[in-house]
């Protein structure tokens, strides 16, 4: 899995409506978080509502949260309806040989990458990590967790 300091591959994927989107174009608006997931993954289902919360809160720095689904567009749209629709989702499916997942060295989902405007990865992790999600929210000045929420510290992907 790619790590902090490495350059993110500039890839293009189709969104759930079929439109082609490039990482380079996404970074024009500010840093981006790529969150690789499978719709059947229980830890992905756990993390997505928090990513949705971060995406809906917005960020003065223009943070974009982008889901990278390893499933078909229709299944991904159903997942978004249930677990959070704010993060835009791109499709990196089996039909294309999971090309982008392979380029990022994904072995488990969820896997997340914070990519800066210059294309460098500043942070990456796999699984559900309360500390990493909190750090992401703190960095971009958006709330990640409610004070009364009971959230586990870590769940592997």
Domain borders along the chain are: 12-145
Q: Are 93 and 70 in contact (CB under 8 A)?
A: yes
Q: Identify the CATH number of the domain defined by range 12-145.
A: 3.40.30.10
pTM for the predicted model, two decimal places: 0.96
**Mean pLDDT value across residues 7-33:** 93
- CA 9 to CA 33: how far, in whole Å? 13
110 vs 37, 74, 81, 144, CA distance in Å?
5, 19, 18, 17
Digit-coded pLDDT (tens) for 45-94:
999 999 999 988 877 777 889 999 999 999 999 999 999 888 899 999 99
DSSP letter, residue 113: E
């Amino acid at each position: 899995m790619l790590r902090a300091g490495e350059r993110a591959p500039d890839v293009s994927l189709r969104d759930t409506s079929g439109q082609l989107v490039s990482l380079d174009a996404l970074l024009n608006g500010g840093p981006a978080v790529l969150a690789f997931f499978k719709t059947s993954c229980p830890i992905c289902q756990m993390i997505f509502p928090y990513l949705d919360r971060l995406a809906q809160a917005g960020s003065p720095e223009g943070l974009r949260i982008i889901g990278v689904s390893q499933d078909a567009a229709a299944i991904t749209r159903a997942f978004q309806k249930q677990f959070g629709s704010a993060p835009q989702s791109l499709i990196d499916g089996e039909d294309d040989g999971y090309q982008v997942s392979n380029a990022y060295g994904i072995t488990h989902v969820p896997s997340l990458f914070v990519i800066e405007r210059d294309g460098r990865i500043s942070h990456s992790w796999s699984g559900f990590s309360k500390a990493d999600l909190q750090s992401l929210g703190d960095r971009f000045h958006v709330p990640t967790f409610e004070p009364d929420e009971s959230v586990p510290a870590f769940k592997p992907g």
